[in-house]
Structures are given as C-alpha cells and as structure tokens.
Structure 1
Amino acid sequence: MSNPSLLILPGDGIGPEVMAEVRRVIDWLGAKRGIVFDVSEGLVGGCAYDKYGTPLHDDTMAQAQAVDAVLLGAVGGPQYDNLDFSVKPERGLLRLRKEMDLFANLRPAQCFDALADFSSLKKDVVAGLDIMIVRELTSGVYFGEPRGIFTEGNERVGINTQRYTESEIARVARAALELARKRSKKLCSMEKANVMESGVLWRDVVSKIAAEEYPDIAVSHMYADNGAMQLVRAPKQFDVIVTDNLFGDILSDCAAMLTGSLGMLPSASLGAPMKNGRPKALYEPVHGSAPDIAGQGKANPIACILSFAMALRYSFDLGAEADRLEKAVEKVLADGVRTADLMGPEGGVPVSTTGMGDAVLAALDASL
C-alpha cells in the first residue's frame, strides 16, 4: 500500500514558521513510529499571488484534490490590502474550501488546565472547557447569489444573499450528530429562526434528521445571538454546536477566546468521502498570518501542531497517535513552556517557535 499523502501549504506571515514545526512532528512519526507520509508542498495566498498573479494556482488546486489531506498555515498580509477583491490572499483559501466541497468546519475550543488563567473569563467558568463547534462552510451568506455592490438611484447598495438548501443543511447536521454520538450525545443547533426564513428551514431540517436518524442524541435549539451570550456566561453547558456559515464564523471566534489564546486552536474542514474512504480534508490553525511578528521566531506553533493531530484522527484513523501528540502538548504547557503569547503573570519558560517544537518533540520521545 502507498503511504498516505499530504499537501502542505505554509502560506504567508507566520505560516511557514509554524508549519516547519509540524514538518518536524511528521518526521518524528516516520522515524520513531514507522508512520510515513508522502509530503508535497505548494503556495497559497499572498506568496502565490507574488509568483503566479493568483492566490491559488490551478496546479495547486489539482494537487489539493488529489491528496488525502491538506495542511495550511495562514494567508494574508498588509501588503496585499489594496489588491482587487478577486485576487486577495483569502480568495485562495475560499477556493480550496469551495472546490473541495469542505462543508463541515470543526473548531474545537478546549481550555488546557495550565492556561485556564489566560482566559478573560473567570477560571472556574472555563477550566475543563471542551466544546466542538461545527460550522457549515460552503454555503450561506458568504456564497449566496445575488451578491455585489450595485447602484440604485443615486446611491450604492451592498447585497449578500443568505441561501441554504435542505441537502446543504442535512449533511452538516449529520456530521455534527455523528460527532455528538462519539462525545456526550448532546447537540445544540443555533440559527435565527425568529427573523430569518433560512433559520426556520435550518431548525426544521436539523430536528427532522435528529428525530429520525439520531434518537439517542439530545438535541436543543438556540437563537445564535443568545448562543453568543451563553458562550460567555456558561460555556460548559455546551458540547457540540452546529450552526451556519456566518454565525459559525462569529461564534467559533467567540469560543476561541474563552481558551485564552488564538495561538492554541486548530480546525478541520471536512467534505464527502473519497474513493479510499477518507474525507476530503483541509486542516489549519485558527490564528491568522500575524505579519507583525512574522520572521521573528515568536509565533506559537501549537495550533498548527494540533491541526495535524486532527488530521491524524479524522483523515488517517490514527486516533492513538493524535492522543499522543495532544498529550505531549498538554505536558509541555503543564511544564510551563511558553511562547510569547502565553507568558502570563505566573511567568514560565520563554521559548521561541523552534523551542516550542523542541519541547513537543521531547515530550513525544518521553511518551515512548
């Protein structure tokens, strides 16, 4: 059998720095665990525009379609702010999501015990937090038509269309319900059925599928604005949350900051199974390209490393190795190893991006 294949797209800003630490973990798995990946690398975002005049070359898109999983660092930077909207770095990421049909975005918000004091909320509110937000990623207001800026009379009008089909709602609902079944069998669906017809349809479809196919899952419904309030009031009431593209974008960032640092949070974007049974998949850290610290060795690589752990679990059925990697990260944090973004009043052992990678690899060695 051939080795599982990975396409690495480091991207812009701190992307190449944090991805370099993931490459070290991949090499460790090959050397110490006999798990070998066929790894290729390409460009996406601003660096792709600089070379090709487009944020994602067609050849890179074809590579992404052909591999078992894609790992992405970050895209964007201030030098690209004045580009036409059609070629901005972020369009490369959106094209990957759309053409790979990655409809389910998984955003875990987990608060490690060692970092509970870093949240802006009280420690007892967030300690032990472990939420999974499932965001629909390929439809809704970000993709609906008509869209654009038009002239009506003597003024301009900006239009975006919120649009969902039953099948688009159904497939992300099933993805969330399957996750809930593997966790605590509890799912909260969030929309705005009180003011939006798309929300009425969303609630109806989720309810129907849950009742007919997942009677063992306790399903609740909540308006998304109340959901945002509840996330900062009592976040541990939630386990798996499913919501649409727009609300998922907002709610997942809200949940992310409960944990204290965007530099800690991974994500997975999953699509339908390929012929080999693996889902189409793209994994990326939640943080952006952080151009203000790029090239300085200050970036925290943990979110990118944990994104690779999600790839091990969801794309390659290597749950034990994903657990090993996550526990290594947890040990490093418990030992007080800190990149700049994690330095709090209690101090810690300050390390560079590479230093954090060294610590994770040492913890992996200790796990053998």
Structure 2
Amino acid sequence: MTKKTIALLPGDGIGPEVTSVATSILKAACGAYDVEVETEEFLFGGCSYDEHGEPVTEETLDACLNSDAVLLGAVGGPKWDDLLSEHRPEAALLKLRKTLGTYTNLRPIKIYSALMGASSLKPEILEGTDILIVRELTGGIYFGKPRHTKEVDGDVVATDAMVYSKSEIERVARKAFEAAKKRNGRVCSVDKSNILDTSRLWRKTVSELSSDYPDIELTHMLVDNCAMQLVRNPKQFDVILTGNMFGDILSDEASMLTGSIGMLPSASIGDKTGLYEPVHGSAPDIAGQNKANPLAAIASAAMLCRYSLDLSNAAKNIETAIDEVLAAGYRSGDIYSGSDDETLLSTELMGEQVLKSLLKPESVAE
C-alpha cells in the first residue's frame, strides 16, 4: 500500500467539523486504490493565535511544505477582528500560500441538477453552466508593496499597491490554458485594461502566450462586464483567468450560481505542495452545532485526490457520491427548502450518506 501524508488545518468556527467529515471520506476513497492516507493536525488561524500568539507557526509551515497535500477548514471570526493585520487569522492564509508557492487557485462552479432551484437565478439561465475560475493567488494588490497607512499633510492616507510581473502572469496563464485543454478549449481572460497598467500588461502577456496554445480560443473581458455576464449568461464561460483581487470577488459572486457558497471547493496549486479548502468561511454563528454543510470540504478532498495524489478515479468517485446524495434529497440547512422530497441532515449525517454512497461496490471506478 502506498502512503501519503496530509497536513490537516481544521482552523476556526465550523472548520474542524467539516474537515473531520472530509478526512474520513478522503481516506476511504484513497483506500479503494491501495493508497493509505496518514494525517497530522495543526493549529491554524485564530486558534493558533490563541495558543501561540501568532496565526501560523514556522513548525506548521514546515510540516505543510513537507506533506503531500494540505487540507484546510476555515479561519477567522469576530473574536480576532481587532488584532493587528499580521496577527489576524487571514494573515496565516497569505503566509501559507506564499510558503507553498501556490500561485494558482482553481474554483470549479458546478451546477448540481438537484439544486437547480436553490439558486436565485432561473433554471434556464443556469442549465449547462460549468465554469473553472483560475485565479492568480500570490501576487497583485494582496501582496504588493508599498502597503501602509500614514499621515500626509494632516490627513490619514492608506496605500495598497497592485503589482504584477510578466513571469507571474505567464505561469498562472499556462495553468489556465492547460486546464482548458482538458475541458471545452476556451479561456476568457478578465482584467481592467481600460484603466490599469497592471491589466494592460496582463492582457498583453496572456495574448502573447496564447500562441503556444493554438487550439485554445482566447477572449478578453473587462472585470465589470464579467461580473454582469456571470449572472446574465453564465454558460458562455468555460475557463475564466484573472488576477488575485478580481478572482476573489468574481469567484464569490459565481458561488451563488450554485445556490450556496457551502457547495464550492477550491484547490491552490503551484510547483510544490497543494492546498485544498472549501470556499465558505468559518460561520461562527453555527460553529459547534453540527449544522454546517460539509459538501464543499468533501469536494475539496476530491480535488486533492485529482491534483496532488494523481488519483482521478478516487476524485470521480467522491464527486459521484455527492451527486447521488443530493439526488436522493439529502440536504444541509443552507440548501434545504423544506419540500417533502428533502431530508434535512446534520454535518455528520451528511458525511455518513456520502460515505455510504462512496463505499457501494459499484461506485469504485476502474
């Protein structure tokens, strides 16, 4: 049996609950292909600050770097809102991404047929939507220098610099083009090139790189138009490629196409260890109540199988199990409509249903 080591960062709020469920399903899915998953858990985010005085320790960063992959729950909450920026739970995420070199974030936007009615958009607009958002993750305004707040001529002035190099743009663009080769062969690069110098470099660099991918159709779109088109006609998109801040905003907007942010997984990859996490936050209002939707964390475990463990069949099995559970009418609170053909489940019971579907003999892909 092959052994793989996964660093677990349950984090804050509902993070520990959904990570626990996802881990059990990850182990079962990999075990079907003779891969034993060994896990080690570390404090991360607000809970790490409470224990160590910092949101992530060097020991945790080293352990993540030396693992085959990292599975993260969620970080943050009102308890830590007043801390200095370097002590806030979110600072741990930025530091971890930088340490792992995960410069590309992948966010699939999949419309489950069983949840078509959960979205605020009409079914005829949603039907056929299948988008992969490829977001640059370690550059742009979240990492640019200078970054400061100071007094200038008697006024308080804050500065955050948006900085991109050609090489940073090229490497994430290649990830988008490669992803499109395995999908429908279309990349829409999103920028603000009518205003920003960084976006003009972005558009020029992506356009030049496209000559290496003659079979991929490249289009460009301004970010404000893209935000509108995502709710007007989402099925027009295949792969959306964009920068850090634009990707952050657009991917959260696109999450509502699915009816709930609790349904969306993500993968952050680069040239080292991959980081996998649900898109949702820590939801402190329901933490510890066994109410959270674990499906995004479970789907993140599927992405871990696909991108870090090279177990595409294990990933497919997990994703099929999620489909089957939803088709059978099982729901967590965020996607429960109260209809007679739906059954409301706790976090743990939802995980049990996915595991039950996953372990059916006919569920193991060849």
Aligned counterpart, 1:287: 280
* Conservation of the 8 A alpha-carbon contact between 2:30 and 2:314: no
Amino acid across the alignment from 1:170: E
> What is the CA deviation profile of residues 155-194 of structure 1, one whole-angstrom value per residue up to 9, with x for unaligned ones?
1011011110000000000000000011011000000110
Q: Which runs of 4+ in 1 moved over 3 A?
A: 29-33
Amino acid across the alignment from 1:352: S
Aligned counterpart, 1:358: 352
For the pair 1:228 / 2:221, whether they are aligned, the reply is: no
* Conservation of the 8 A alpha-carbon contact between 2:26 and 2:302: no
* Conservation of the 8 A alpha-carbon contact between 1:144 and 1:161: yes
Deviation at 1:31, TM superposition (A): 5.2
Aligned counterpart, 1:275: none
* Conservation of the 8 A alpha-carbon contact between 2:29 and 2:318: no
For the pair 1:92 / 2:92, whether they are aligned, the reply is: yes
Deviation at 1:345, TM superposition (A): 4.7
Moved more, 6-15 or 121-130: 121-130
Amino acid across the alignment from 1:81: D
* Conservation of the 8 A alpha-carbon contact between 1:283 and 1:310: yes
Give the distance between the partners of 1:38 and 1:181, measured in 2 at CA: 33
* Conservation of the 8 A alpha-carbon contact between 1:29 and 1:36: no
Give runs of aligned pairs for residues 11-22 of structure 1, distance below 5 A.
11-22=11-22
Deviation at 1:38, TM superposition (A): 2.1
Aligned counterpart, 2:325: 332
Amino acid across the alignment from 1:45: G
Q: Please report the TM-score for the alignment, with normalisation by the length of structure 2.
A: 0.96
Question: What secondary structure, in the 3-state scheme, does the structure 2 residue paired with 1:219 have?
Answer: strand
Aligned counterpart, 2:314: 321
Aligned counterpart, 1:137: 137
* Conservation of the 8 A alpha-carbon contact between 1:268 and 1:307: yes
* Conservation of the 8 A alpha-carbon contact between 2:23 and 2:301: no
Amino acid across the alignment from 1:61: L
Give the distance between the partners of 2:215 and 2:291, measured in 1 at CA: 46
Give the distance between the partners of 2:194 and 2:205, measured in 1 at CA: 16
Aligned counterpart, 2:243: 244
Aligned counterpart, 1:67: 67
Aligned counterpart, 1:276: none
Question: What secondary structure, in the 3-state scheme, does the structure 2 residue paired with 1:164 have?
Answer: coil
Give the distance between the partners of 1:29 and 1:85, measured in 2 at CA: 39
**1:302 aligned residue (289, 295, 300):** 295
* Conservation of the 8 A alpha-carbon contact between 1:112 and 1:127: no
Aligned counterpart, 1:201: 201
> What is the CA deviation profile of residues 103-146 of structure 1, one whole-angstrom value per residue up to 9, with x for unaligned ones?
10001111100001111111111123210000000000111111
* Conservation of the 8 A alpha-carbon contact between 1:113 and 1:128: no
Amino acid across the alignment from 1:308: A
Deviation at 1:77, TM superposition (A): 1.2
Deviation at 1:70, TM superposition (A): 0.4
Deviation at 1:96, TM superposition (A): 0.3
* Conservation of the 8 A alpha-carbon contact between 2:144 and 2:162: yes
Deviation at 1:86, TM superposition (A): 1.1
Q: 5+ unaligned residues in a row in structure 1: which ranges?
A: 273-278
* Conservation of the 8 A alpha-carbon contact between 2:187 and 2:217: yes
Give the distance between the partners of 2:33 and 2:244, measured in 1 at CA: 38
> What is the CA deviation profile of residues 277-318 of structure 1, one whole-angstrom value per residue up to 9, with x for unaligned ones?
xx4210000000000000001000000000000010011111
* Conservation of the 8 A alpha-carbon contact between 2:4 and 2:35: no
Deviation at 1:210, TM superposition (A): 0.6
Give the distance between the partners of 1:90 and 1:147, measured in 2 at CA: 16
Q: 5+ unaligned residues in a row in structure 2: which ranges?
A: none
- What is the root-mean-square deviation in Å for CA atoms of aligned residues? 1.2
Question: What secondary structure, in the 3-state scheme, does the structure 1 residue paired with 2:70 have?
Answer: strand
Deviation at 1:33, TM superposition (A): 4.3
Aligned counterpart, 2:218: 219
Give the distance between the partners of 1:268 and 1:141, measured in 2 at CA: 21
Deviation at 1:364, TM superposition (A): 0.8
Aligned length: 361
* Conservation of the 8 A alpha-carbon contact between 1:177 and 1:214: yes
Question: What secondary structure, in the 3-state scheme, does the structure 2 residue paired with 1:7 have?
Answer: strand
Give the distance between the partners of 2:26 and 2:193, measured in 1 at CA: 45
Aligned counterpart, 2:252: 253
Give the distance between the partners of 1:282 and 1:72, measured in 2 at CA: 7
Deviation at 1:24, TM superposition (A): 1.4
For the pair 1:37 / 2:33, whether they are aligned, the reply is: no
